[in-house]
Amino acid sequence: MKFKALLTGERKKEEERYRRYFEKYYGVGLVFAALFFWSWRSLKIYPELFLSGIPHFIKLVGEMIPPNWQVLTGGNVAMAVLETLSMAFVGTVFGAILSFFLGIFAAQNVTPAAPVRELCRYIMALERAVPTLIIILLLVVFIGLGPFAGMVAIAIGSVGMLGKLFAEAIEHVDPRPLESLEAAGATRLQLIRYAVLPQVIPSFIANSLYRFDINLRTALFLGIVGGGGIGLNLHVAMSLFRYADALAITVIVLLLIVTAEKFSDYLRKKIIGQEVLS
Amino acid sequence: MLKLQKVSKKLPDGRMLLKNISFEVQKGEFVGIVGESGVGKTVLLRCINGLTIPDSGDVIINGEDRPQKINGKKGRELRMMRRRIAMIFQGSILVKRLSVIENVMTGKLGQISTARSILYGFTDKEAAEAVEALEKVGIAHLAHRRAETLSGGEQQRVAIARAMLQDPYLLLADEPVSNLDPKNAETVLEYMLPLTDRMAIIGVFHHPEIVRRYCSRAIGIKDGIVVYDGSPDLDQSVLQEIYGGGTEPAVKAVSCF
């Protein structure tokens, strides 16, 4: 009984707290709700479209099945798959080479010239800000449609991430071996070659392999906007309403992606695993 | 060979760490620098090869042809002076992912052209030299292991082999055995000892007992000045002077070696 006063006192304090809480966030909530409502309206969302679309979808699936495997035997698709793979592979290699130098010139501990560093950082930040889709649209103006434009777009599109990760890895190396070589009279380039690179190359290769996975997906959709490769075949099949062809191509694309991912995962584990174990 | 003239160094907080340190070292000497932790022994050693720049005073090295000041030197000139001054760091700092033999050969970097060392790498002759140096410290069989797989004592011996590849006239050793067990410490020091017929060695040591057994001369530092310079047979009164009132470090040192 004697706790009752205490309880009501507590409750009053709690109520007070809740009220203040709501007052504090009421305005924020209102703005959020208005923003959401306005966005919703601008999207022109009509849920009934889902219902009316069901027959279309059933028809589409009906036309897709069975997939037209014939389309794969022409040789045309095989070439396109190769083109996509090559686009991703060559693009990643060039991207990695670019990133290698950008990364070194952006790392504080190996590049003392601040303007050079800032410039490299700026280039990489700019690249990260521009989606690969925009890059290819600009490149198509330059060098026209085709896998060449796709490859260049992939190479440029890789440097933002790879270069930044590489620069960060360089900045986090153990500085003591650098000093010990410096004490023996080594030049800056020798320091980079014999004390920095041995510490960072495994992670650089692992990151590049990961980037290859990403670039393979990029190569697929670049085909749709004019970059060539299997993405283009898929786009054409869909545009001509050849849904059975499209499904066959999609299955191939999925297989390609899954295989590439497994392969690069395996290599990455081998490289990083080696780094940890021995 | 080496002459320190009134070398002084301030700490970032303005406190004087080294005050007018002067001494000379000749070829063939094995000098042991002793003093309490934090007294500036490592900084003093780093002043000698220019890794730390003294605030005042000169470090004069007479190595290859004529006496030169190392303080104030920069870039190429500094590198030229450093290539034949070897330094063994505390807890040997090897490049972990390079093989043992590559680590040893990095001692040669100061003496070969940058372009060649990057585009081509090391020559067979340098590799042979490295193997020879590894043989001298008794670990030639580990030449192709990765440096990080070696034990502390083995790594320290690699550091000595690397120093030997520099063909130094001056070897600076910053507590080369402080994190080794007594047996390994003894092995490492036994390998260092015969080097004195070709060079001068200056070592920083934690334990007076090591200085007593291996060095030819001891320099004691306290409160930034040289308080003792003479025979390595540090007796109790000298140790008192170097380590202050408490004899504890000395006692500890004796019992642990």
Instruction: Give pLDDT tens digits for B162-209.
Output: 988 988 888 998 888 877 778 878 888 888 888 888 888 998 988 888
Do A91 and A148 touch, CB atoms closer than 8 A? no
Q: A153 with A123, same domain?
A: yes
pTM: 0.79
- Chain A residues near residue B117 by CB distance under 8 angstroms: 190, 193-194
Report the residue from B51, B87, B110 with minimal CB separation from A186: B110
Residue A144 is part of a domain; what is its CATH number? 1.10.3720.10
Q: Where are the domains of chain B?
A: 2-210
Q: A125 with A240, same domain?
A: yes
**A55 domain-assigned:** no
The number of C-beta contacts closer than 8 angstroms across A and B is 82
Rounded-to-10 torsion of CA A226, A232, A237, A239: -10
**A64 domain-assigned:** no
- Return d(Cα B157, Cα B163) in angstroms, integer: 10
CATH topology for B2-210 is Rossmann fold (3.40.50)
Q: What is the pLDDT of residue A8?
A: 67
| Interface predicted TM-score (ipTM) | 0.82
Q: What is the pLDDT of residue A21?
A: 76
The nearest CA of chain B is from the CA of A132 a distance in Å of: 35
Q: A257 with A156, same domain?
A: yes
Cα nearest neighbour of B79 on chain A: A185
Q: A138 with A82, same domain?
A: yes
What's the whole-number mean pLDDT along residues A181-186?
Answer: 89
Q: A41 with A152, same domain?
A: no
**Strands annotated E in B39-149:** 56-62, 67-69, 85-88
Which backbone phi and psi does B34 adopt, to 5 degrees?
-125, 160
Residues of A with CB under 8 A from a CB of B: 174, 176-177, 179-187, 189-190, 193-195, 198-199, 202, 275, 278
Give the domain extent around A18: 4-48
Chain-chain contact of A190 with B118 (C-beta, under 8 angstroms):
yes
The one-character DSSP state at B16 is E
Determine contact: B95 vs chain A, CB below 8 A: yes
- Return d(Cα B214, Cα B75) in angstroms, integer: 36
Task: Mark which residues 20-59 of B lie under 8 Å from A by CB.
Answer: 49, 51
Report whether pLDDT(A148) > 70: yes
Q: Which of A111, A122, A113, A98 is nearest to A170 (CA)?
A: A111
Specify the number of domains making up chain A: 2
Q: What is the pLDDT of residue A106?
A: 95
Determine contact: B89 vs chain A, CB below 8 A: yes
Chain-chain contact of B89 with A176 (C-beta, under 8 angstroms):
yes
What's the whole-number mean pLDDT along residues B126-131?
Answer: 90
Q: A150 with A231, same domain?
A: yes
Which residue is it, tokens 């070439």?
A79
pLDDT digits (tens, 9 = 90+) for A20-49: 777 777 888 889 999 999 998 888 888 888
Q: What is the pLDDT of residue A276?
A: 47
Task: Mark which residues 160-189 of B lie under 8 Å from A by CB.
Answer: 162, 166
Q: What is the pLDDT of residue B177?
A: 82
Crossing angle of the two packed helices A197-222 and A76-106, in degrees rounded to 10: 140
Q: A244 with A149, same domain?
A: yes
**A59 domain-assigned:** no
What's the whole-number mean pLDDT along residues B233-253?
Answer: 65
What's the whole-number mean pLDDT along residues A242-252?
Answer: 88
Determine contact: B87 vs chain A, CB below 8 A: yes
What's the whole-number mean pLDDT along residues A229-242?
Answer: 87
Residues sharing a CB contact under 8 Å with residue A248, sequence separation 6 or more, in sequence order: A67, A68, A69, A71, A72
Confidence class of residue A5 from pLDDT cuts 50, 70 and 90?
A: low
Strands B56-62 and B2-10: antiparallel
Higher-confidence position of A118 and B257: A118
**A241 domain-assigned:** yes
Cα nearest neighbour of A197 on chain B: B97
- Return d(Cα A97, Cα A267) in angstroms, integer: 19
Chain-chain contact of A180 with B79 (C-beta, under 8 angstroms):
no
**Strands annotated E in chain B:** 2-10, 16-25, 30-34, 56-62, 67-69, 85-88, 170-174, 200-204, 217-222, 225-230
Report whether pLDDT(B5) > 60: yes
Confidence class of residue B252 from pLDDT cuts 50, 70 and 90?
A: very low
Report whether pLDDT(B256) > 50: no
Cα nearest neighbour of B93 on chain A: A177
pLDDT digits (tens, 9 = 90+) for B36-83: 887 888 888 888 888 888 888 888 888 777 787 777 777 888 888 888
Q: A109 with A211, same domain?
A: yes
Which range, of A1-10, A145-154, B155-164, averages the lowest pLDDT? A1-10
Q: A85 with A210, same domain?
A: yes
The nearest CA of chain B is from the CA of A200 a distance in Å of: 10
- Return d(Cα B51, Cα B48) in angstroms, integer: 8
Determine contact: B206 vs chain A, CB below 8 A: no
**A131 domain-assigned:** yes
Q: A126 with A24, same domain?
A: no
> Helix, strand or coil for residue A257?
helix
Q: A212 with A243, same domain?
A: yes
